Structure 1
């Protein structure tokens, strides 16, 4: 579980950088996808993460909040995903 914790911490840092406006969506998505390959989690976590990352990409492509969900809501969900992944 130690390896998961360091990877999840790096993913949290990436998310925080994005929320602070220091990292574009494309970099967040690329870094999360790359990091996820080293996680040892049940498959449902990977599926949920991928769905959230797709929503981030769609929100960015459709001028943030003109999509059916906002990028802020998705970043909140990514934060919750991190919390749950950290308890597995």
Structure 2
């Protein structure tokens, strides 16, 4: 499991940084829905709001984006690594960009 935390001051700054990080790596981000998680998939996909994903679709995701999208921090969690490759232990890092 890989966890990356984006914590930037300002409205939506942490969310925008997390979205850019994903976009730069070819990772699609699900639609925003209040406090609900946002799905992450490696590749070019449109991902529905969390409430509109069924259980099988949620299991198929590579990861999730969670947190306070307006004020931060925002956390990206991948079940494998950020490219869908299995990893043996949990890694956490803070985004610096």
Superposed pair shares fold, TM > 0.5: no
Higher percent of residues as strand: 2
Greater relative CO (CA pairs within 8 A, separation 6+)? 2
Higher percent of residues as helix: 1
TM-score norm. by structure 2 comes to 0.27
